Amino acid sequence: MTTPPLALTLGDPDGIGPEIALKAWQHHQTSPFRYAIHANREQLSAYAASLGIAAPVAISAPQEAQDAFTDGLPVLPIEHAETAAGTALASINAAVEASLAGTASGVVTNPISKAVMYEAGFKFPGHTEYLAHLSADAPLDGARGPVMMLAGGGLRCALVTIHQSLRSAIDSLTPERIIHTTTVTAEAVKRDFAIKRPRLAIAGLNPHAGEGGSLGAEEIEIVEPAVRALQEAGFDVFGPLPPDTMFHAEARAGYDAAICLYHDQGLIPVKTLDFHGGVNVTLGLPMIRTSPDHGTAFDIAGKGIARPDSLIAAIELAAELAANRANAS
């Protein structure tokens, strides 16, 4: 089954998004991957000239990306915005609209600056929550997220808590949050990663997973009840596992995804295994969404030295997930 092209967002135009989008296109120019970016063509053309890359090609509809792709990065124009935040937002809105309409097979987002967005009045914690808001009324076959997953180096880690202090993350842990995250992850891994019966490993919180309560009671009071409830519901889950022994190669072979309780518990092993090629995947949305696992990198923007590895990986994973979802429908 042939899927429509992917929709790329520009990200913050003052960051490395424009540069890595052009470099990703150069990498994929002779590949089967097809996508179009929602952006300002004149701005991208200036970047392309500075990098010695072919100028982007203006198109008027996503399906035109197929024929235009070998000539240059296909660009779908966005509404003019006076600010970087407005430009980033217009690109996101257009990409999501295309994906929900079925003219794009998924969304790949370039990095935005939360600080820049907040100063412009953006009311959402970040990309993930805004995408969930935009797609809240679209139908979804399965549990609704959003749930953040990091994928790289053969490891998939879904997070129960994300961008909050470690103290507040621990305070906010409940069996219900673990159950919801795991349910969304299990259904998404089955639907989008085409794994018929996903095996999920749930991490503990404390050293040695609490050592029977002597090093902390969270495993007994919070994690174990969630594991039992999930097993009773028919999910193939196990844990809580000691976090320091669940990420080596032999342990990783025993599960398809890890459920991690806080941000660094999941991101450290993924970034250790594949620092440049890690991908952020949002699970539980009506659309496919992936993103590079890095920020705007304002300090190197415009210098021509940004690495596109993570964006390339995000594009290729999004294409794989979109094809899997299409075949499953």
pLDDT tens per residue, range 158-211: 999 998 899 999 999 999 999 999 999 999 999 999 999 999 999 999 999 988
- What is the model's pLDDT at position 3? 83
pTM over 0.85: yes
Task: Name residues whose C-beta falls within 8 Å of residue 238's C-beta, 6 or more positions apart in sequence.
Answer: 199, 200, 201, 202, 227, 255
| Token pair recorded at residue 240 | 């809580």
In this structure, are 50 and 147 located in the same domain?
no
If one counts every other C-beta atom within 10 angstroms of the C-beta of residue 188, the result is 25
Nearest to 287 by CA among 315, 323, 329, 322: 322
Residues of the chain with pLDDT under 50: none
Domain assignment of residue 197, given as a range: 141-284
Cα distances (Å, whole numbers) of residue 306 to 23, 110, 165: 9, 13, 29
In this structure, are 33 and 84 located in the same domain?
yes
The span from the CA of 270 to the CA of 310, in Å, is 12
Residue 165 carries which side chain, given as an amino acid letter? S
Nearest to 170 by CA among 265, 67, 284, 61: 265
In this structure, are 163 and 202 located in the same domain?
yes
In this structure, are 227 and 111 located in the same domain?
no
If one counts every other C-beta atom within 10 angstroms of the C-beta of residue 319, the result is 24
- What is the model's pLDDT at position 277? 92
In this structure, are 203 and 89 located in the same domain?
no
- What is the model's pLDDT at position 311? 97
- What is the model's pLDDT at position 288? 97
- Please name the helix (run of DSSP H) or strand (run of DSSP E) that holds residue 83, with its range, or none: none
CATH number at residue 188: 3.40.718.10
Task: State whether the Cα torsion 115-15-309-1 is positive or negative.
Answer: positive
β-strand pairing of 74-77 with 257-260: unpaired
- What is the model's pLDDT at position 329? 73
- What is the model's pLDDT at position 2? 72
In this structure, are 26 and 126 located in the same domain?
yes
Number of domains in the chain: 2
In this structure, are 206 and 310 located in the same domain?
no
